[in-house]
Amino acid sequence: MIHCEVEFAPIYAGQPLYPEIQAFLNARGFSLIDLIIPGRYAYRSKRGIRGRDRLLWAEAVFFRDAVDVRTRAAQAAAALFVHRKPNLAERLLEEATSRTDAGSPV
């Protein structure tokens, strides 16, 4: 699992933005699970009203596309207890047990 900060607009000189990070991690067998804790940029209108309308950064959660039961079980635990995603946890455990039943690696 990778939990990292990603930006949608440059904050630091020479930094990769979210699309580059996602492509990099996807190429290495990771899939995006969620974008959480978004940071928004505040625009000020001519009337002086500030609105936090533009997504500037977020924390991204990626899980490795794994086939072994131990990895899937660890991911399920993280999904449930860290990220509060019970349906994802259930899905990961179902995938792990179905692969074990079918004779896939443990």
Sheet holding 50-64, edge to edge: 2-7, 50-64, 30-44
Question: Are residues 58 and 101 located together in one domain of the fold?
Answer: no
User: What is the rounded distance in angstroms from the CA atom of residue 92 to the CA atom of residue 74?
Assistant: 9
Query: 41-73: b or e for each residue (b if 16 or more CB lie within 10 Å)?
Result: eeeeeeeeeeeeeeeebbebbbbeebeebebbb
Domain, as residue range, for 70: 66-106
Question: Are residues 16 and 39 located together in one domain of the fold?
Answer: yes
Question: Are residues 22 and 39 located together in one domain of the fold?
Answer: yes
pLDDT tens for each residue of 22-57: 999 999 999 999 998 888 877 666 777 676 678 889
| Domain count for the chain | 2
pLDDT tens for each residue of 43-98: 666 777 676 678 889 999 999 988 788 888 899 999 999 989 999 999 998 987 77
Supply the pLDDT for residue 106.
43
